[in-house]
Every structure is written in structure tokens, then in C-alpha cells.
Amino acid sequence: MIKTVSLLTRKAGMSHDEFVDRWVNEHAPLAHAVPGLRRYVLTLIESQPERADIPSHDIEVDGIAELWYDDLEAMRVAAATLEMRALRAHGAEIIGRIKNYVTTEKQVIPAPHGAN
């Protein structure tokens, strides 16, 4: 599996709560139609605590999106679809800034049997 992880900041003039509402209720349902997209996870930012022993990045993040694919080829194919274009077009209505990463995972502590 491969995934993209995106740090999202809302459009200027939009509240965090409005961004989350539109992201969850308008944007996320569009992901169901994207061929080859295996999993779509929205991580909603509740707070941004800082550590006293490590400096913090000077960025504001309203959410983190994970898009999961079987492999890089599946990701490439999905990116070219009309459904992904629709998802991205809607995202451009609510996302003011974005930083994308293509990632693989290295699981350190396995989830208990049967956990999601």
C-alpha cells in the first residue's frame, strides 16, 4: 500500500468549523467515486499542543487527509480520472494551502487483533 498525506489549511475568511463541516459533509463523499482509492481518512485537528523541549513549526493546519492506493501506478491512474478531478476541484473551494507527501508506513506497534 501507498498513501498520500496532505496537510490542509482552510481558505482565508473561512472558520475552522466551517472548513471541517464542508470537508466532512461535502468533500469527503466525493471520494467514494474515485476508482482505485482504497481508503480515505480525514484527521480533524482539535488542538495544537506544543512541547517545551522542541521548537514548533510555524504553520496552521486545519486537517490532515490520507488517500490510500494499492501502489504508485494505481495512484497515477486514479489521479487522471474525472472523479479525482471533481474531488480536487471541490477541495480548491475550501483549501487555502496544502502540503502533500507520498508515503509508505513502517508499523512499529501493531494494532490489537481485530482493531481497525
Render pLDDT for 2-56 as a digit per residue (tens, 0 to 9): 999 999 999 999 999 999 999 999 999 999 999 999 999 999 998 888 889 998 8
| The CATH number, out of the four listed (3.30.70.100, 3.40.50.620, 3.40.50.300, 3.40.120.10), of the domain defined by the range 2-47+60-103 | 3.30.70.100
Contacts by 56-61, CB closer than 8 A, 24 or more apart:
59/7, 59/9, 60/9, 61/7, 61/8, 61/9
pTM of the model: 0.85
Q: What is the mean pLDDT of the chain?
A: 93
